Amino acid sequence: MSTLHPVRRALVSVSDKAGIEDFARGLVACGVQLLSTGGTYAALKKAGVPVTEVSEHTGFPEMMDGRVKTLHPKIHGGILALRDDAGHVGSMKEHAIAGIDLVCVNLYPFESTIAKAGCTREHAIENIDIGGPSMVRSAAKNHRFVAIVTDPADYAVVLDEMAQHNGCVTEATKRRLAGKAFALTARYDALIAEWMQKDLATAGLAESKWPTSYALAGRKVSELRYGENPHQTAALYVLGGRNEPSIASAEVLGGKQLSYNNLVDLDAALALAKEFDEPFVAVLKHNNPCGAAAGGTILEALSGAWDGDPVSAFGSVLAFTRVLDMACAEYLVSGNRFVEAIVAPGYDEEALKLLTEKPKWGKNVRLLVCPFPQAARDARDVEVKKLVGGFLLQDRDLMAAGEGECKVVSKRAPGSEELAALLFANKVCKHVKSNAIVLAKGTRVLGVGAGQMSRVDSVHMAIRKAGDAVKGAVVASDAFFPFADGPELALKAGCTAILQPGGSLRDAETIAAVDAHQAAMVFTGLRHFRH
């Protein structure tokens, strides 16, 4: 049933006070009596907006440092009462409860509070809003009669409707606002629950790392042109309470609107770049690195990464661990090079000018800024994999074997240069779709075998990509070789050292093959499947 009910009384209590004075003035101009609390009341009073303090309205003072102020029958009764129910109306008269027809509330800044470095447990708890969500949920439940406004972006919409409908907000708008309100409280509670679970785990009090219920607290950043394919719709959401630099929170400097596939590839590229402290560039295509290199300068890293597979690099995305300078910009725009998107800690002024003004580049290439020291990786965060009807959670794979984890299993130990190359290849390999094989020399990827159903096919692919440069290369595998055929293929092509987790029933056959070629092999004990 359609209900057009004029707004005669509104409760306004906001943490984010952007636009609230103008909104309050607009309500007063429509003949609305305002109730308010705490800082909002003080701000409106100072601005000369007529307003009544909630404690005066209820006849009950704020107490306990403001923890108790709106949790009162005169507030929630005024919000929840059904105006077309005789019993409700009778209760309102009996207990002198005045109706509240509009509630404008946004919540304590819990998300930004826990995102700040050094936030204490006590400070986080004090920023858990109680009265706000209670009022929001009450008003949203009774949206037939009450408009619930939680977003400053809706202030103008509400005032415009009231002006057009004799002080009323339409049913359609009230329903939309109610849905938005419940989404807000759901996200707010999910953030709190996630923080509480992490807090319990840190204190050693959690029964399990994985709670009995888990909700993702996402806030929509933008709707995308389409999803993975043009017939699919999509949107980008950012998760709250995260400090780690990410693609979701990166600043976009220019280029076309980011697509679903751009974002997925950029996320993978940034994850790989975070493995390295030195000047490093990753070149990704279809969620797999096709080139990667470290160098004495960022230009050396870029040229080395591009040369790993220049055919696949066309139309790729790039991730840099250093500011993209003019030399890199000139390298990229020269020849027949083109990329879809770049993420870097920053851009030199001249480099940015070239990349944004060069024909073909300026209007197309997406440029993102995301400073990301390696230490920024958050081991407490989890990975989510959506299934039909459910989802999986797991720890992030942030481990990568160092020299101390490498067990030499061959007769010949790898030389220092070989071992360094193996460790470099291993860092890249853990970011390649399984079955994953990476061939490298020094700190440059030569060939990648990704996503094949058999590991020997991945070896074939990596060798073909490496071409003549395969002689003297090293091999990293994300999982053990089930047979000696893959290593045999790489060794016959000229590879000299292999890194793998080990653990196959036929490890002895693989070791024997390596020894027969006077090559070296190390086991790490760490598998890095990436499905």
The SS3 of residue 53 is: strand
Catalytic residue check, 143: no
Give CA torsion, residues 496, 497, 498, 499, to 10 deg.
Answer: -160
Q: Which of 180, 198, 286, 411 is catalytic?
A: 286
Contacts of 265 (CB under 8 A, 6+ apart): 284, 285, 286, 287, 316, 317, 340, 341
Distance of CA 471 to the CA centre of its chain: 41
Is the preceding omega at residue 435 within 30 degrees of 0, hence cis? yes
Query: In whole angstroms, how far apart are CA 398 and each of 117, 283, 377, 417, 430?
Result: 22, 20, 8, 24, 9
Structural element, H or E, at residue 132: helix 131-141
Sign of the dihedral defined by the CA atoms of residues 451, 454, 458, 461, in that order: negative
d(CA 12, CA 44): 10
Burial class (CB in 10 A: 0-12, 13-18, 19+), 192: buried
Segments in 255-321 forming alpha helices (H): 260-273, 298-307, 310-313
Q: Which of 17, 88, 141, 517 is catalytic?
A: 141
Catalytic residue check, 116: no
d(CA 343, CA 321): 9
Is residue 52 within 8 Å of residue 36, measured between CB atoms? yes
Closest of 70, 193, 209 to residue 128, by C-alpha: 193
Give CA torsion, residues 440, 445, 451, 457, to 10 deg.
Answer: -40
The residues that are catalytic are: 141, 286
